[in-house]
Structure 1
């Protein structure tokens, strides 16, 4: 089940499923140590007329956020039982505390006793071995712990003199036929077992009296710490500063944060402006405070591959940080670049992917080829794109004068690697493609290497390293010349996706598969936008990769097998991906000569809005016949792609409506600031 409504503060990340059950609780790193590991934590309500969990089919729900914030707004009702309730959840921006406000309305014309049940099923350190839960009488809380991880679960009733539950239960689950303590709540009476060890869960009860036709508010919270003392400090804070004050400051922080964007968003139509800001906020939830930009934190994917997307891919991170830089959030992207500098290998390249703590992530890329020879298990575009976006980071942030350390520690070793990692033709040597499926010389990779070398030349020029400046620019020229010679198919009047080395023939074999990642040939500046070869390539990409169903959208490439749902590839070349559809929108924006020309791009942007969840969360891809989210959701890259295309749309709109005057160019639009590398 897709994840929705992520909330976090860069240390704690909470994900809900489509029914608004808590599924993921990451701490102390975003994307590392999922303290619930896809185990479902329940929330339920008892009244004299019956009991229900929030995922009961009779519960109607409208799930969204409060405008411009990372505080949720879940509007729910159970008509038969005469109850409606609004849940507002947030993670405090200053402390590692999850906050839940529940406003319950009694719709019946009679006083009723209402009991709320908050259940937590944790897997501390990502597993359920050796966990402990007990009721702490001093905190009046349930306390979970193992090693250096502590989490407390507490509540505050409007009818109670102090913050304490009216009942609690602890127990084991998943062993000996035990389902968990949540079952104990369904009769409205908790057993009160005070401690449990092993694979455990717990639930607390909050009781209140609701007069006829009345509304009351109740609170729950979870504190996260590395020690019991840290959790105790947070519990004292909640009881003095009040949970309302913390939730309010969290709401206010995010409203202020997202409205600091560097663009003149008022020029956008309201739906585009609102969704753009939502993309910024959702992107922020997947950025760890130590610099890792995580691809996705949807643990539901574990069912598919027994691994997750909770890694920092340097490519994804580079493109996400680039969108954040263009929006003016330089401090966030700066931490990402510091992360990359830290993990750069002595040879000058970045690995496949990393854990949020900067250790090397899992990988399926072999270090030997089919003949037993050593090969680098890397995607070269990842190193090149960090180099490319680092240059633009300094240009956009106005910090180029302080870039010397970056130049010495990252730019020179990374650029020198790109120079060395080439064959006699001038093309980059084979590496894995951006889709992580094939080993060869990919158009996307070649374009990114060119962009990285141009960026390195500019760094060298600024730092008066004239020899390197000339050298890097010359090598970039050689890469471009080799691309023209080997990656273009004159007989088809378009570019190739890739070249693969054939040992028997001792030559490259062309790959004619149409792949939307070929957009990089213009986007990274390898070829000019108006180049007839590029125009022809982009045209056929749209023709062949558009999904011919009611859903529409653009597939990754012809006959994409990943999560494939039909063999009718003439109609459905692959599932529609958000990033691929938005890449084509970028092309349309870049090509637009009049405001009218922007309308088709605007339609594709609205396609993304239409196929996102009501909350704004975009998956990696959607089902070509139903439009349901597929693979992980939300995918950070999807949101960054919408951010980038909106920035370009807005800048082009301003440029066209002001007849090309210099003042019309948005200062954060790097395609105008840097016309050579797009």
Structure 2
């Protein structure tokens, strides 16, 4: 079930499912320690007419965000019970506090008492062993704790002077045949058990009086901390400032953040501009304040592999940070590069992936090859792309004068590694591909290595290291020459995806599979855009990888097995991926000679918007027949790809419209000369 409406502040991240149950609560690191571990935390309403949970089939729900914000606005209605309500949720932009506002509307011509139930099913530190929940009479809150993880759950009716639940219950769940304390709410009366230990959950009740055909509101909030003292301080802050003020300040903060982008978004259709900002905001929710740009935080993927996407892949992070730098959000990119500077090995390479706390993430890359000999369990493009985007970060942020530490601590070891990790042909040695499936010399990786070496040479030149500047530049030229010799097949008139080493024949064998990642050949500058070999390759990729169903979109590569839904690879070479479809849009933009030639790229951008969730959330891929999200959602890289292609689109539009204006002025001048 896709995750939707993520909200957070870089310390706390909360995800909802498609019926607006809370499913993921990450704290104190985004992507690490899911304090709810994919369990459902319920929200319910009791009235004299009946009881329902928010995921009841009779509840009609319209999910949305407040415009340009990370505050939700979810409209719900239960027509048979004559009740409508709007939920607004947000995580304080400067405090680790979740706030929920409930605005209730009565459709019946009589006064009604409603009881609202907020349930939390937690597994602190990511496991349900040894948790404690108790009711704190001083705070009038439910307190969950284990070790250094504390959460409080509180409530208050609109207009009330103090927090005061009308009921509460604690209990055990998923042991001894117990489903959970949430079941206690369904009769509209909580039993009031004040403490439970082990595998636990809890519910608080807020009673609200709703006038005939009138409205009322209620508030809930969750405070996060490392101790009872932390929770007490945060609870006092909420009560002093009021939950309403915290929620409104949070909304205004994100509106300001989303509108700081320096690009001329007014050149875009309003819906494109709004989606661009939504992508930036979604990216922000998946970035930990300590620098990890996390790939995705959808715990539903656990059902398939018992692992998640909640890691920092240096490649994903580099490309996301590059889009952020272009948007002017340099401070987030800076924390990412600080993370990488700390993570780089003494040998100069980055590992497969990392946990948000900086430790090495899980991996399936072996350290021995098919002959039992040592190999590096890395994807070399990850090191290269961090180096490439670091150079552009300093240029765009105007901080090259402050780059000496980066040069010594990261650029030199990484540049030396890229220069040395090559064979006699000049090509990089084999490593795992960006899809993490194959070990060889990949066109995408070679392109990234070339870009990384060029960046290293530019760093060295800036810092007066002339020997290294010349060396890195020479090696980059050698890589390019080798790529021309080995990655292009003249008989087919196009580039190949990869080269694999044949141990018996002691030579490389080409992989002719069409793979959309070959776009990297031009995007990272290894092959000129004007090169007819590149044009032929991109045209073939578009022809063979376009999904021939009403859904459309571009697959990763021919016969892509990941989440494959059909063996009819002629019609569906693979499921359509957002990043792959948007990569082709980048190619169209790069080739456009007139504003009209950008129309195909805009159509692909709108394809991405069309297949997003209604809230603007992009998954990794979509079902080729239904268009439903597949794999994780949201995928940070998908959103960053839309941000980057929009930036490229705007730059091209400005350039081409300017060129047309220049041509018109030239024509007018020539006419004037002829008239005289």
Q: TM-score, normalised by structure 2?
A: 0.97
Work out the CA distance in 2 between the residues paired with 1:203 and 1:212: 28
Q: Tell me, what secondary structure is at the counterpart of 1:64?
A: coil
Q: Tell me, what secondary structure is at the counterpart of 2:81?
A: coil
1:157 aligns with 2:157: yes
State the Cα deviation string for residues 472-502 of structure 1 (Å, max 9, x = none): 0110000000001000111110000000000
- Give the aligned partner of residue 75 of structure 2: 75
1:520 aligns with 2:550: no
Q: Is the 8 A contact 2:419 2:475 kept in 1?
A: yes
Q: Is the 8 A contact 1:159 1:208 kept in 2?
A: no
* Pairing of 1:471-486 with structure 2 (within 5 A): 471-486=471-486
Question: Which segments of 5 or more consecutive residues in structure 1 lack a partner in the other structure?
Answer: 663-678
- Give the aligned partner of residue 595 of structure 2: 595
Q: Tell me, what secondary structure is at the counterpart of 2:150?
A: strand
Displacement after TM superposition at 1:158 (Å): 2.6
Q: Is the 8 A contact 1:93 1:250 kept in 2?
A: yes
Q: Is the 8 A contact 2:312 2:356 kept in 1?
A: yes
- Give the aligned partner of residue 427 of structure 1: 427
Question: Which segments of 5 or more consecutive residues in structure 2 lack a partner in the other structure?
Answer: 663-676
Work out the CA distance in 1 between the residues paired with 2:220 and 2:273: 33
1:395 aligns with 2:413: no
Displacement after TM superposition at 1:234 (Å): 0.4
Displacement after TM superposition at 1:161 (Å): 4.4
Q: Is the 8 A contact 1:497 1:511 kept in 2?
A: yes
Work out the CA distance in 1 between the residues paired with 2:262 and 2:394: 16
Q: Is the 8 A contact 1:159 1:209 kept in 2?
A: no
- Give the aligned partner of residue 43 of structure 2: 43
- Give the aligned partner of residue 208 of structure 2: 208
Q: Is the 8 A contact 1:63 1:73 kept in 2?
A: yes
Work out the CA distance in 2 between the residues paired with 1:576 and 1:657: 32
Work out the CA distance in 1 between the residues paired with 2:278 and 2:380: 31
- Give the aligned partner of residue 321 of structure 1: 321
Q: Is the 8 A contact 2:110 2:211 kept in 1?
A: yes
Work out the CA distance in 2 between the residues paired with 1:20 and 1:423: 53
* Pairing of 1:47-126 with structure 2 (within 5 A): 47-126=47-126
- Give the aligned partner of residue 669 of structure 1: none
* Pairing of 1:454-473 with structure 2 (within 5 A): 454-473=454-473
Q: Tell me, what secondary structure is at the counterpart of 2:563?
A: coil
1:657 aligns with 2:640: no
- Give the aligned partner of residue 198 of structure 2: 198
Q: Is the 8 A contact 2:208 2:217 kept in 1?
A: no
Work out the CA distance in 2 between the residues paired with 1:170 and 1:297: 28
1:629 aligns with 2:629: yes
1:397–1:159 distance in 2 versus 1, CA, 3 Å: closer
Work out the CA distance in 2 between the residues paired with 1:50 and 1:590: 59
- Give the aligned partner of residue 508 of structure 1: 508
Q: TM-score, normalised by structure 1?
A: 0.97
Aligned-residue RMSD, C-alpha: 0.8
State the Cα deviation string for residues 69-104 of structure 1 (Å, max 9, x = none): 000000110000000000000000111000100001
* Pairing of 1:520-669 with structure 2 (within 5 A): 520-659=520-659
Work out the CA distance in 2 between the residues paired with 1:236 and 1:399: 41
Q: Is the 8 A contact 1:655 1:661 kept in 2?
A: no
Work out the CA distance in 1 between the residues paired with 2:259 and 2:449: 35
Displacement after TM superposition at 1:660 (Å): 7.7
Work out the CA distance in 2 between the residues paired with 1:147 and 1:280: 35
1:159–1:277 distance in 2 versus 1, CA, 3 Å: closer
- Give the aligned partner of residue 417 of structure 1: 417
Work out the CA distance in 2 between the residues paired with 1:660 and 1:349: 46
Work out the CA distance in 2 between the residues paired with 1:90 and 1:75: 15
Q: Is the 8 A contact 2:139 2:232 kept in 1?
A: yes
Displacement after TM superposition at 1:54 (Å): 0.4
1:408–1:660 distance in 2 versus 1, CA, 3 Å: farther
